[in-house]
Amino acid sequence: MTGFGLASTDNANIKFAVEIKSLNSKFLELSLKIPKAFSDKELLLRNLCNKEIERGKVSIGITVERPEELQKGASINTILLTKYYKQLEEINAALGANTTNLLQTALNFPEVIAYTEEEASESEWEILNETFLRALKNLNQFRLDEGRVLKADLELRIKNILSFFAQVEALAPLRVPQVKARLSQFLEESVGKINIDQNRFEQELIYYIDKLDITEEQTRLKSHCNYFIETLKDKDANGKKLGFISQEIGREINTMGAKANDAQIQQLVVGMKEELEKIKEQLLNVL
């Protein structure tokens, strides 16, 4: 959800500029800095952002630069200031007080300094709105471009997991004869071959091997990976959905590793976990 959008417009010596930055966030967190002259349009701009930006910590800065001759600022009521100043001088003379900073004191009296607020015309608002829309478009295009890169990376990570998974599929059936051979050798060394009850041994072996069976985990893991790829192709925003699928993928990988009881499979499981962690990091940046 990282992104950047910038747009500006020069009109009659007045420059309008809109800059939008977005970072990762599970929800839409909007910070909007707007000139006071357009403060009445803030709600409209926020509603527009809610429609166009689904998620992210978004910072928006809007600036309007006017020529000096068009800028409005503070004006001083010289008549009132002079009156206050003379009164302060008379009081100080009567009291014999310090006469320093009388001017600063007079300037702080009510209505001595009047501030004129800038007002925006409807035509200026139309220009700003158009500039804002272009900045939003640039932001979304930035995110789309980044999304294509993320999609390619996520597909690669899933393919890597499936590659590890294919090796697990090849190794999983080999565990049964290996387990049987190890247990048989252990019993022969412990109690002697002639003392082994083969029927009981087969029953215990079936029970033990059933605990190591990862067929269901293999089926679900492959299904989740395929579903992840299908969801990636969807045009709708599916960042949260992909997050849920990745959690299910992780659950199957963890269970497979816990039940595998095989060093080679454990190494492959570690490889799948590494790829999954990279997927989860990337999903923070997917809408």
User: The CATH number of the domain where 39 resides is what?
Assistant: 3.30.230.40
Q: Which two tokens stand for residue 142?
A: 């930035």
The verdict on pTM exceeding 0.95 is: no
Shared domain for 47 and 108, answered yes or no, is: no
Task: In whole angstroms, give the CA distance from residue 135 to residue 18.
Answer: 6
3-state secondary structure of 110: coil
Task: Tell which residue, 128, 107, 113, has the closest CA to residue 41.
Answer: 128
Question: 39 and 87: one domain?
Answer: no
* Residue 129 sits in the same domain as residue 170: no
10 and 111 fall within a common domain: no
65 neighbors 15 (Cβ within 8 angstroms): yes
Residues 23 and 151 in one domain: no
The pLDDT score that the predictor gives to residue 2 is 81
As given in the structure block, the two tokens for residue 51 are: 């429609």
Q: Residue 181's pLDDT is what?
A: 64
Q: Determine the number of helices (DSSP H) and then strands (DSSP E) in the chain.
A: 9, 6
Ordered per-residue pLDDT tens for the chain, 287 residues: 688 999 999 887 789 999 999 988 878 899 999 988 888 899 999 999 998 888 889 999 999 887 664 455 566 778 887 888 888 888 887 777 766 777 788 778 887 776 555 667 888 889 999 999 999 999 999 988 888 899 999 999 999 999 999 999 888 877 766 666 666 665 566 666 666 566 665 666 665 666 677 888 899 999 999 999 999 888 777 888 899 999 999 999 999 888 877 888 889 999 999 999 999 988 887 87
Instruction: State the pLDDT at residue 69.
Output: 47
Statement to judge: residues 198 and 238 lie in one domain: yes
Question: Does 93 share its domain with 131?
Answer: no
Residue carrying the six token digits 């899933």 = 158
Examine the domain organization and report whether 150 and 229 are in the same domain: yes
Q: Is 121 helix (H, G, I), strand (E, B) or coil?
A: coil
Strand order in the sheet with 56-65: 3-11, 14-23, 56-65, 28-33
**64 CB contacts (<8 Å, ≥6 apart)?**
14, 15, 16, 17, 35, 37, 38, 120, 124, 128
pLDDT at 283: 86
- Same structural domain for residues 136 and 151? no
Question: How do strand 28-33 and strand 56-65 relate by DSSP bridges?
Answer: parallel
Same domain, 199 and 268: yes
Q: Which residue range(s) make up the domain with 60?
A: 3-68+123-141
Number of domains within the chain = 3
Q: Are residues 11 and 26 in the same domain?
A: yes
What DSSP character marks residue 193?
G
Question: Both 220 and 108 in a single domain?
Answer: no
Residue 85 sits at the vertex; the CA angle it makes with 80 and 90, to the nearest 5 degrees, is 130
Closest CA to 268 of 156, 170, 152, 182: 170
